[in-house]
Amino acid sequence: MKRRIFLIATVALSAPSMLNAQTQVRPPRKIALLMPNSTDPHFWNALKERLAALGYVEGRDVVYETRSAEGQFDRLPALAEELVRTNPDVIVSAATPPVKALHAATKTIPIVHAAGGDPVNMGVAASYSRPGGNVTGVASFADELSVKMVELARSMLPRLSSVAVLANAVNPGTQQKLTVDAARKIGLTVLELSARAPADIDLAFASAAKDRSGAMIVLSDAFLVSERVRVGSLARSHAMPVLAQMAEHARAGALLSYGPDFAEHFRRAAYFVDRILKGAKPGDLPIERAATFALVVNRRVAASLGIKIPAEILIRATEVIE
């Protein structure tokens, strides 16, 4: 009888600790975000919204540690190292400079490339099917769109003889050379321009106007899209047809845009984050290529410039801004 009482007492004393073990909640997983700038929250919100749809409640299941270079790419190495020191479970970024900075800062923490250039060409992944390291995600392949942008410029402006090409001086990538080569191949005179600060964009438009460029192609870049309102305003004041790769430019005053749906890429990046948080290794997750592209035409801008939009472009357009 005494032994039975002792056993009951032992079980009773251990019950609270057993209950605590069963009800102990796992601390939230940390997702770090390295942003080129913070002026385009809809991209990052697309990522968070998709993660929420997958069941990750912010504050309960995940927390976000965010850093932004605010367009100053020289800050990226320090910001990448700072994020790595917070010991996140996974880091999400976009565009070539941030991803390369992160890859230089860590070879162990998983990195998800949400949008931008080609991770293989960047040197941060071995191949698309087997990245092999700590970087995976979505490749926009903006470089491959360069030739298409030139073709669209010629279709919209049949008499076009010269074009200005605007790139970020800090992030030219290969798309600048591909665009320039494609333009020269069809006989266009090319004025190469660069901008790394807002004032540089003003100077670029002034140079294009002085050179009598018939149009300007704005290359895909985080800084340039963050300055899309400035680009649209300058396009209007100089009566300069602007073609770009990001839809945000067309909605802010460019004549048209053609390129991947970057918001959708951020939503797709949530899939990679989910897989990694569930134990998958980034090196085993194949890098995905952009599957859909959007052609956005700003009819209002075309009318103000006296440009007649070809019927074949209107038919193909995924969005027409009236």
Q: Please state, in angstroms and rounded to a whole number, the distance separating the CA atoms of residues 303 and 322.
A: 10
**Residue 299: both structure tokens together:** 């009819």
Residue 16 lies in a domain: no
Instruction: Give the pLDDT of residue 5.
Output: 47
Burial class (CB in 10 A: 0-12, 13-18, 19+), 162: middle
Max alpha carbon distance in the chain (Å)?
105
Q: What is the number of structural domains in the chain?
A: 2
Residue 3 lies in a domain: no
- pTM score: 0.82
Instruction: Give the pLDDT of residue 225.
Output: 87
| Residues 110 and 120 both lie in one domain | yes
Instruction: Give the pLDDT of residue 6.
Output: 46
Residue 14 lies in a domain: no
Instruction: Give the pLDDT of residue 24.
Output: 54
Contacts of 42 (CB under 8 A, 6+ apart): 263
Q: Which residue positions in the chain have pLDDT lower than 70?
A: 1-25, 141-144, 172-173
**CATH number, residue 119:** 3.40.50.2300
Expressed as residue numbers, the domain containing 132 is: 29-141+261-292
Note the pLDDT tens digit of each residue in 127-164: 999 999 999 999 876 556 888 899 999 999 999 999 99
Closest to 50 measured CA to CA, from 277, 261, 271 = 271
Instruction: Give the pLDDT of residue 261.
Output: 83
Instruction: Give the pLDDT of residue 7.
Output: 47
Residue 105 lies in a domain: yes
Residue 96 lies in a domain: yes
Q: Is 211 helix (H, G, I), strand (E, B) or coil?
A: coil
| Residues 77 and 118 both lie in one domain | yes
Instruction: Give the pLDDT of residue 213.
Output: 97
Provide the angle, in degrees to the nearest 10, between the axes of the packed helices 262-277 and 41-53. Answer: 40
Instruction: Give the pLDDT of residue 141.
Output: 65
| Residues 98 and 202 both lie in one domain | no
